[in-house]
């Protein structure tokens, strides 16, 4: 047999199986394309020249790893699915006289063509889209669009080389796996391979229970973790548990439930339940793993897209929380603040909405009767940690536009991220009467991104404020003398103001003026190491580069995972269609009408394909509390806003899912009814 024969056979095989290999090839092309793009972005000189480049590149490099891993798993998985379906074809070739080494040669050529097309088209497409992606990233990060071509020839060649090497390795792996599949099987087995999976599944109650337990534990962790510092670590534990639980419940759990349904004769032998239960059992056995994959992928897409879009969309809100005024200054010596005011005025910048108040902040621990200032926290967890900010009444009324009065021993209180219901509050050596829990407090950005609870206390006058300050100093001093010396525990003063029209450039100019005054006042920072001046417009750069790149990555990976989910759905529909065809015909012969058959099948297919989506929704729902706490780490404190992002993401994803379903269902019905 000559060489051309193999080449022609390989080509014909691919063409003949275009229904299954077409989407696979498309997915490979897109995976190559996306890997190329993200790798290109990670080394792109135009991104390196942007502000916040380190953050952006860190995030994008993380993306390169994820996309690379994804490519390996995804291409391998899809191929193994396709090879399994072709075993019969290989068996036939084998029987017709093609030896296994010849078959290996054909498979090798097929894989080679696949790799060639994937890499060729993928790289061309990637090169074409990289510039577009660069523009998108620049837009997201609020940078000017990079000019010219995106990379020099040398860089371009390196990136192409790395991409080609990775995918060549993947396809080699795929080839070895396929050949192994053919080599280990005997021709008769190959011929019968497709029918091997039709045995009735066994009910594995133990596995089902383990699955339920894993899922329950994962959900429990997600719901009950209030400690944000633990949330990130526990989140991954919960994710692993939920993934295990999902796989076990989809595989063992579904079968166990269906078996239980079948055991109930009165229920089972009803027209609708009869075909549905047995049909579902068969479907679940064939599809459980694939459906669990879809479910996990969907959940990942939902979490990523909702989280990153929430960060991006909520960025301005988060910025305003963290930096309540255009310029925020905290200092322990009022003299410097006066110098700052003068410097700003000298720079010709009129300060608007000025706010100024004296305060102290310190950390305390929650007790049933109030707050304790101590370093002996052996009995405490992070969740009982409280940040306390105390101001005097006059400053409070002025800053918030209120008109409260307080008798000695009375306070106003506002607690964030915790509840306190008692009428009195014990603090240090005194117990105060809470006159009222108020709705508004002075704006102080530094405590906003805190994960612990924040307690705003308003005392009647400056004397009381000074007295508490002294008491805190004494308390801390006893325990840690060196700390007292360092921090001084003097009264601090906050000064914040807005620039006209919140203009960024004016704010940045104000910052420059303040920096000059600041350096003159301090000489070195020893006078007040805790003093800060923060300008919102300046800080935004950091926010934008972090949130913008996370958002980009979230969307990028979301797209990739969605593509994978779509491909799996398509293949499921296809294999379902082939298997159902025979059953469809028999049922009609035995006395089911066309409509009835169509309806039952339609119902089952709907259940099978929307179960992953619904489960993904439930997963996301249970993940919400813990994710909400993780979001707090990124300065996003609005639960409601995040909820809308999650609901929005789910809605968009569900709509896309439904469209994909409708399109692939046509393939399915075509297969069934011909």
For the chain, the residue count is 674
Shortest Å distance, C-beta 588 to another protein: 7
- Encoded tokens for 448: 């906003």
Helices (H), 591-638: 594-633
In whole angstroms, the minimum distance from the beta carbon of 269 to another protein comes to 4
Shortest distance in whole angstroms from residue 99 CB to another protein: 31
Q: Which is nearer to another protein, 100 or 598 (CB)?
A: 598
Give the separation between CA 464 and CA 459, rounded to whole angstroms. 7
Nearer to another protein, 131 or 572 (CB): 572
Three-state secondary structure of 500-534: HHHCHHHHHHHHHHHHHHHHHHHCCHHHCCCCEEE
In the complex, what is the shortest distance from the CB of residue 613 to another protein, in angstroms, rounded to a whole number?
Answer: 25
Q: Report the nearest approach of another protein to the CB of residue 135 (Å).
A: 51
Stretch (H or E) spanning 492: strand 492-498
Angstrom distance (rounded) from CA 527 to CA 531: 9
| Residue whose structure tokens are 């989910």 | 565
Place of tokens 């009995």: 379
Q: Work out how close the CB of 674 gets to another protein at its nearest, in angstroms, rounded to a whole number.
A: 13
Whether the CB-CB separation of 569 and 661 falls below 8 Å is answered with: yes
Token look-up 């837009």 returns 139
Closer to another protein by CB, 17 or 278: give it. 278
198 or 542, CB closer to another protein?
198
For another protein, the closer CB: 88 or 367: 88
**CB of residue 587 to another protein, shortest distance in Å:** 7
Contact 620, 299 (CB under 8 A): yes
Q: Residue 188's closest CA among 200, 180, 196? A: 196
Nearer to another protein, 112 or 268 (CB): 268
**H or E element, residue 250:** none
Q: Which is nearer to another protein, 268 or 420 (CB)?
A: 268
- Nearest CB to another protein, comparing residues 154 and 266: 266
What secondary structure, in 3-state letters, does 81-106 show? HHHHHCHHHHHHHHHCCCCHHHHHHH
CA distance 69 to 78: 14
Q: Site residues (CB under 8 A) for another protein?
A: 198-200, 265-266, 269-271, 274, 278-279, 281-282, 583, 585-596
282 vs 538, beta carbon nearer another protein:
282
Closest CB to another protein among residues 251, 454: 251
Report phi then psi at 252, rounded to 5.
-80, -40
Q: CB within 8 A of 659, min separation 6: which ones?
A: none
Q: Closest CB to another protein among 285 and 540?
A: 285
Under DSSP, the state recorded for 634 is: T
Q: Least distance in Å: CB of 590 to another protein?
A: 5
Minimum Å gap between C-beta 612 and another protein is 22
Residue 561: name the closest of 368, 302, 251, 314 by CA: 302
- Distance between CA 270 and CA 624 in Å, rounded? 40
Q: Is 491 exposed, middle or buried (0-12, 13-18, 19+ CB in 10 A)?
A: middle
- Min separation Cβ 250 and another protein, Å: 19
Rg (the chain; Cα; Å): 32
Tokens of 54: 């380190």
The owner of tokens 């040669």 is 105
Whether 110 and 14 have beta carbons less than 8 Å apart is answered as: yes
DSSP string covering 160-219 = HHHHHHHHHHHHHHHHHHHHHHHHHS-HHHHHHGGGGGGSPPPP-HHHHHHHHHHHHHHH
Q: Least CB distance from residue 278 to another protein, whole Å?
A: 5
Residue 80 or 593: the one with the smaller Cβ distance to another protein is 593
Cβ neighbourhood burial of 459 (10 Å; 0-12, 13-18, 19+): buried
Which residue number, 274 or 610, has a Cβ lying nearer to another protein? 274
The minimum distance between CB 602 and another protein, in angstroms, equals 16
CA 243-245-246 angle, 5° bins: 65
**Nearest distance in Å: CB 203, another protein:** 15
Shorter beta-carbon distance to another protein: residue 115 or 281: 281
């Amino acid at each position: 047999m000559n060489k051309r024969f193999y080449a022609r056979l390989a080509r014909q095989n691919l063409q003949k199986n275009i229904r299954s290999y077409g989407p696979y090839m498309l997915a490979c092309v897109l995976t190559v394309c996306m890997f190329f793009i993200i790798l290109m972005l990670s080394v792109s000189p135009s991104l390196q020249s942007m502000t916040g480049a380190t953050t952006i590149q860190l995030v994008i490099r993380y993306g390169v790893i994820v996309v690379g891993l994804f490519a390996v798993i995804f291409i391998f998985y899809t191929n193994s699915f396709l090879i399994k379906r072709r075993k019969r074809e290989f068996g036939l070739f084998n029987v017709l006289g093609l030896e296994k080494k010849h078959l290996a040669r054909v498979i090798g050529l097929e894989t080679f063509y696949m790799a060639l097309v994937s890499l060729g088209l993928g790289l061309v497409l990637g090169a074409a889209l990289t510039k577009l992606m660069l523009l998108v990233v620049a837009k997201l990060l609020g940078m000017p669009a990079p000019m010219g071509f995106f990379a020099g020839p040398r860089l371009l060649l390196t990136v192409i080389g790395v991409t080609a090497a990775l995918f060549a390795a993947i396809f080699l792996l795929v080839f070895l796996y396929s050949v192994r599949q053919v080599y280990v099987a005997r021709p008769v087995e190959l011929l019968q391979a497709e029918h091997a999976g039709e045995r009735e599944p066994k009910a594995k109650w133990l596995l089902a229970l383990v699955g339920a337990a894993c899922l329950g534990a994962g959900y429990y962790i997600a719901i009950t973790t209030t400690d944000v510092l633990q949330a990130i670590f526990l989140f991954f534990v919960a994710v692993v548990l939920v993934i295990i639980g999902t796989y076990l419940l989809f595989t063992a759990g579904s079968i166990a439930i269906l078996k239980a349904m079948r055991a109930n004769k009165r229920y089972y032998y009803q027209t609708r339940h009869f075909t549905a239960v047995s049909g579902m059992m068969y479907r679940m056995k064939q599809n459980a793993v694939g459906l669990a994959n879809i479910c996990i992928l969907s959940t990942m897409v939902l979490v990523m897209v909702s989280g990153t879009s929430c960060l991006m969309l909520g960025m301005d809100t988060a910025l305003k929380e963290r930096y309540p005024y255009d310029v925020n200054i905290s200092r322990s010596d009022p003299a410097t603040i006066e110098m700052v005011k003068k410097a700003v005025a000298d720079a010709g910048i009129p300060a608007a909405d000025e706010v100024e108040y004296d305060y102290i902040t310190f950390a305390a621990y929650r007790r049933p009767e109030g707050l304790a200032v101590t370093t002996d926290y052996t009995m405490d967890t992070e969740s009982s940690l409280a940040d306390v900010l105390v101001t005097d009444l006059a400053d409070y009324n002025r800053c918030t536009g209120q008109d409260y009065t307080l008798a000695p021993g009375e306070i106003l209180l506002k607690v964030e991220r915790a509840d306190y219901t008692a009428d009195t509050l014990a603090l240090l050596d005194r117990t105060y009467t809470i006159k009222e829990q108020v709705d508004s407090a002075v704006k102080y950005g530094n405590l906003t991104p805190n994960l612990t609870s924040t307690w705003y206390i308003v005392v009647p006058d400056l004397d009381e404020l000074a007295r508490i300050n002294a008491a805190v100093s004494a308390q801390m001093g006893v325990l840690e003398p060196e700390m007292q010396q360092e921090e001084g525990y003097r009264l601090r003063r906050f000064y914040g103001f807005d620039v006209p029209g919140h203009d960024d450039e004016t704010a940045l100019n104000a910052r420059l003026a303040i920096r000059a005054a600041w350096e003159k006042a301090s000489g070195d920072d020893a006078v007040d190491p805790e003093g800060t001046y923060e300008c919102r417009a300046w800080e935004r750069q950091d926010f934008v580069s972090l949130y913008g790149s996370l958002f980009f990555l979230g969307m990028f990976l979301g797209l990739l995972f969605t593509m994978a989910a779509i491909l799996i759905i398509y293949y499921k529909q296809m294999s379902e269609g082939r298997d159902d065809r025979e059953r469809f015909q028999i049922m009609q012969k035995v006395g089911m009408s066309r409509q009835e058959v169509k309806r039952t099948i339609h119902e089952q297919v709907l259940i099978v394909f929307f179960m992953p989506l619904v489960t993904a929704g439930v997963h996301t729902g249970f993940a919400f509390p813990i994710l909400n706490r993780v979001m707090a780490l990124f300065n996003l404190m609005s639960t409601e806003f995040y909820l809308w992002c999650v609901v929005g993401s789910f809605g968009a994803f569900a709509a896309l899912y439904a469209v994909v379903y409708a399109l692939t269902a046509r393939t399915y019905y075509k297969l069934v009814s011909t």
